[in-house]
Amino acid sequence: MKQEIVLITGMSGSGKSVALHALEDAGFYCVDNLPPELLLPFVKLEQQQSATKVAIAMDVRSANSLPLVIPQLTHLRALDVNIRPLFLDASTEVLVHRFSESRRRHPLSRQDSTDQAPDQQRDLIEAIELERHLLTDLREASHIIDTSLLRSTKLQAYIKSLISAPATQLTLMFESFAFKRGIPLHADYVFDVRMLPNPHYEPDLRPLTGRDAPVSDWLAQHPSVDSMAAHISEFLTTWLPDLNQDHRSYVTVAIGCTGGQHRSVYLVERLSALFTPNWVTLKRHRELDLMGS
């Protein structure tokens, strides 16, 4: 059986420990904070031990040797090892809040920072931006997961859904979202559907979601909704084979409306059903997750 390696990297405070716990629950042998220079020797050792599912977490504490990671991933793929690099990210505002709430020091914070709150916050923001810079190349080579609005339980479920998909095939992720809460950081393609007719202004439909039949039926009656679905479908049908040839593990298509409740949800459901017969397809509704719906 081919060895499967999930490499977890990302911003400090973005939820890497939560992701690693989710992988451990899913049956992966997990190692936290492995120095990058030990990646190849460790994988070879686990191959000798017949470990087929391994998860490895690395972070910016190994900043000096992080440039070694991407060439090693290329080398491991050449050895026919399935590598899934996942990069956890979050907005700077969210990361500042998480560090302030936990009272933990960022690993790149200056050791001589003062005890005054303004200086501490300035130091923290500078550390976060420095970390973003140091991790740029690794972020570009990974599938990005935006945890800004994800609770721990939802992040664990998201990680498990991602790794449940076959590692050897491109996985297409459709995600609905609300523009008022910001565009998902991990989206590869973003489609704005705010110009479509809005069920929010229909009193009977307002409390429902795009997964409910009355909303679906109402939206399906509008030619502009059909046109939008057809155009997104045509774009993806054209380019997914090329993305697959480019050895992409995941492609995230984010569809946004004003509130992330009706139009974007409906289109995610519709497009997911359309592409499922030919592609490994997952779907997620960011705002409905936040509402617990």
Residue 54 is given by DSSP the state E
Sequence ranges of the domains in the chain: 4-164, 171-291
The answer to whether 260 and 200 have CB atoms below 8 angstroms apart is no
Q: What are the angstrom distances between the C-alpha of 239 and each of 20, 29, 62?
A: 32, 35, 37
Nearest C-alpha neighbor of 4 from the set 72, 57, 77, 74: 77
pTM of the model: 0.82
pLDDT of residue 1: 65
Instruction: For residue 96, give the H/E element and its range.
Output: helix 92-102
Per residue of the chain (293 residues), give pLDDT as tens. Answer: 678 899 999 999 999 999 999 999 999 999 999 999 999 999 888 888 877 899 999 988 887 788 899 999 988 888 888 889 999 999 999 999 999 888 888 988 865 544 445 566 668 899 999 999 999 999 999 999 999 998 899 999 999 988 888 767 889 999 999 999 999 988 999 999 999 999 999 999 999 999 999 999 999 999 999 999 999 999 999 999 999 888 788 999 999 999 999 999 999 999 999 999 999 999 999 999 887 65
* Pairwise CA distance, residues 128 & 33, whole Å: 18
pLDDT of residue 114: 47
Which residues lie closer than 8 Å to 165 by C-beta, 6 or more apart?
A: 171, 280, 282
Q: Which CATH number fits domain 4-164: 3.90.1150.10, 2.30.40.10, 3.40.50.300, 1.10.1040.10?
A: 3.40.50.300
E strand spans, 199-293: 250-257, 280-285
